[in-house]
Structure 1
Amino acid sequence: MSEINYLWPLAGGLLIGLSAGLYLLLNGRIAGVSGLTAAATGLSGGGINKLGLGFLAGIIAGAWLTSLLVREPHIAITSSLPLLVAAGLIVGYGTRLGSGCTSGHGVCGIARLSRRSLAATAIFMAVAGITVFVTRHLLGGQL
């Protein structure tokens, strides 16, 4: 692996942290993707939020621009569509149940030393580790 390959994640992490910090400083709100998606689609009450729409458009435009400037990503879907849909619904339900997602709790909440976010992020990470262990070692990676 070349040295430049280690810079991309560092740059991405810095940009995520910078954008989350600026969003909090300039708007007084947490930059959680699930909350902004709910606001952009009107699911959080109060109608469609233009700030949420702009945030989501920025995420999509940033990914598109990066793929043009850096390299074309190779995406390979290795699971069945019903499994992916079920997983997405479970993650969405958990996000609403936990009052936020990994970006809101993990990036913004931990930075603010929120106990609720520290606990939520610890649970996210523990469940992710258990899931990887079960699917790779107990189920043989057959999902």
Structure 2
Amino acid sequence: MKQFETTLPENYEALKKQANYTSSWRDRLHAVEELSAYQHEKVIDLLKNRMQHDTVYPVQTAAYDALAAFGENVEKPAPARFDIIKNTDKIFLRVKKSLPKDHTVADFAAKLKRMRLDVYDAYEGDKGEQFMPWLEERWAKL
């Protein structure tokens, strides 16, 4: 059985902040991965929170994997079946209406990233390589 560190890492507060940073799923994933070496009560609580409440599935599963490796009794999260952020269409429509009529999907993506980095980042993390085709499809339907 793998041995884990049972103390908190020296940079725990920074990692905790990073794990909850809403505008970067990559930062959250990195923090979860780094914390997965520390089997400490505070880390376990933080990982359970990420597993249950993160908007991005790869972050949820990384937290789950760490908790399972610690021997915690946890259920693997299921990927979201619907929008991972409430009122996504309203947000997209607001962005689209703020642009000139002849804008492109690239213009739309850039404006979304500026106006709502949290939304852009969450879907980019959730969709991976399919993000731009997915975004273009949603944009075309608005």
Structures share a fold, TM > 0.5?
no
| TM-score bracket relative to the smaller structure | under 0.3
Using structure 1 for the length normalisation, give the TM-score: 0.24
* TM score, norm. by length of structure 2: 0.24
